[in-house]
A = this chain, B = another copy of it.
Amino acid sequence: MKIYEARVAPNPRRVRIFLAEKGIDMQYVELDVMGGENLSPALRAKNPSTKVPFLELDDGTCIGESVAICRYFEELQPEPPLFGRTPLEKAQVEMWNRQVEFFFIQPLMFAVQHGAGIFKDRMTPIPVWGEESAKNARAYLDQLDRHLTNNSYLVGDYFSVADISLLCAVDFAKVAKIRLSDEWPHLQLWHQLVSGRPSAQA
């Protein structure tokens, strides 16, 4: 099997870190997403959403969406568990992963795409929406900072895929001129903690 990705994009890194935590080796195929290689008919046939990363199994079946790929490997190799260990923890991981996605990653991507105008060959940038999204992304970091006052990770003392999602987004956020600062001290501590894991180099 192999994963098609673009090394600089934040979502492929989520999967690389996840696989590093699991100790799973993978073959990667780099796509020129800026040049539109992912939009070719051949790649669209494999991955209709055109987003990276996507996983191709040996029988040709393809799975898109970083979290769906992670879940596949969680099922194949449960240890160490990264989606939660109990029903409650699994629900909490799902909640945090979704909230990070909806309230930070998506606004961040809108800020980048509508603000900087990358991908304007394939979408309609609306600069005012880019600005509003950057504001929303920052406002969510305020909320997260409060949450991390009493939690080492997003789900208490348990490192999960939700932390991986947030790490990749926070590191990518400099593209939208959002950088962790003393404004968010607990988020800074959390960032040091998760960045210190060997998987963060993946």
Residues of A within 8 A of B (CB): 48-49, 57, 61, 63-65, 67-69, 71-72, 75-76, 86-88, 90-92, 94-95, 98-99, 102-103, 106, 124, 126, 128-129, 132, 143, 147
A87 adjacent to B76 (CB under 8 Å)? yes
Residues of B within 8 A of A95 (CB): 63-65, 68
Q: 20 other contacts beyond A71-B94, A126-B126, with CB at 8 A cut-off?
A: A49-B99, A63-B95, A64-B95, A64-B99, A65-B94, A65-B98, A67-B98, A68-B91, A68-B95, A69-B91, A72-B87, A72-B88, A72-B91, A75-B87, A102-B106, A106-B106, A126-B128, A126-B129, A128-B128, A129-B129
Closest to A48 in B: B143
Interface of A is mostly: helix
Known contacts A63-B95, A64-B99, A92-B68, A48 near B132 by CB under 8 Å: no
A147 adjacent to B92 (CB under 8 Å)? no
Closest to A114 in B: B129
A72 adjacent to B49 (CB under 8 Å)? no
Q: In whole angstroms, what is the CA distance A63 to B94 when docked?
A: 10
Q: In whole angstroms, what is the CA distance A191 to B168 when docked?
A: 37
